[in-house]
Copies of this chain bind each other. A is one copy, B any other.
């Protein structure tokens, strides 16, 4: 039961140098009144002893754990790697650790996950909420990354503006009939993206929307989206609300013999990992996750510093939306005669 840690602690440094623990603590934190030379000497000695402060001791005394929680609706989300990476980076440069909690898609599991984090004593947390769920405020500051149009959102990518970018791009290429392909109508993010696309269209343009989950309820998951038929109906551009759906559309169209981008264009959202390497590479719109994470984390750490009350609260940031950036690749091209040879079959079904 050698339960004492191996590394030196404050008192070991103190006795070894013949000073008091308080002085060592002050020297290292630069808080109390210690002479310059002594500070130097203590820091040097601490360094060569390889001193690492006990988070437990510090946490117990200060009431702060130095850890942030990260709650995700569903870790399996392909966007998650970028989010986690960005949050972890922002947090660790701010001196915080990141504790993850997965809610496995379930809504009740989300509050459960939040509770787990609270029990572990996180100082604050970043929540990417599931669908349109509200955060039953936990016992610590909470930053929400959702979409700017949702109340309670701390900071997020400007999904609406991202949609505008896509619409503008497609408009510039001459496309007039666009099929928006989304997964879930209840997702506020996807709705904002779709709204953005519609708002960015010129007056002479027209868009229909296809929600995959509804289609799959009828036809079964993984079913065909019937996009070849949509091509025959005159749609020349398929704007998916996520790269995953864009990929699905892309491969379905390719399999049906539709050439991209010669015949039709396909665009996505998020610039996920496969987007640059598929053929044709995917035109998409990217969110600056690093910046979003940095804003969220600093809003959180500010709230932690100044929070005198322990009630849960949703933190706010000066900037609540971060622009998305259009990445033009090969899956989008001018709306040209390439589609003509498919048009004759109109109104087949």
Chain A residues near B (Cβ < 8 Å) = 1-7, 52-57, 59-60, 62-63, 65-67, 70, 75-78, 80-82, 84-85, 88-89, 92, 97-102, 104, 116-121, 139, 221-222, 224, 244, 247-248, 250-252, 254-255, 260, 273-274, 276-281, 308-310
Contact = CB atoms under 8 A, between A and B. Distances in A.
A123 to B, nearest CB: 11
Contacts of A80: 80-81, 84
B224 A244 contact: no
A277 B252 CA distance: 9
> Could you say how many copies of this chain the assembly holds?
2
B55 A57 contact: no
Nearest to A88: B102
B81 A3 contact: no
A168 B55 CA distance: 53
A60 B65 contact: no
B276 A63 contact: no
Contacts of A53: 119
Nearest 3 interchain pairs by C-beta? A56-B59, A75-B85, A254-B254
A121 to B, nearest CB: 5
29 contacts: A1-B308, A2-B309, A3-B63, A5-B310, A54-B60, A55-B120, A56-B65, A59-B60, A70-B100, A75-B84, A76-B81, A76-B85, A76-B273, A78-B274, A80-B80, A84-B84, A85-B104, A89-B104, A97-B117, A98-B100, A222-B276, A222-B277, A224-B279, A244-B273, A248-B277, A248-B278, A251-B251, A252-B279, A255-B280
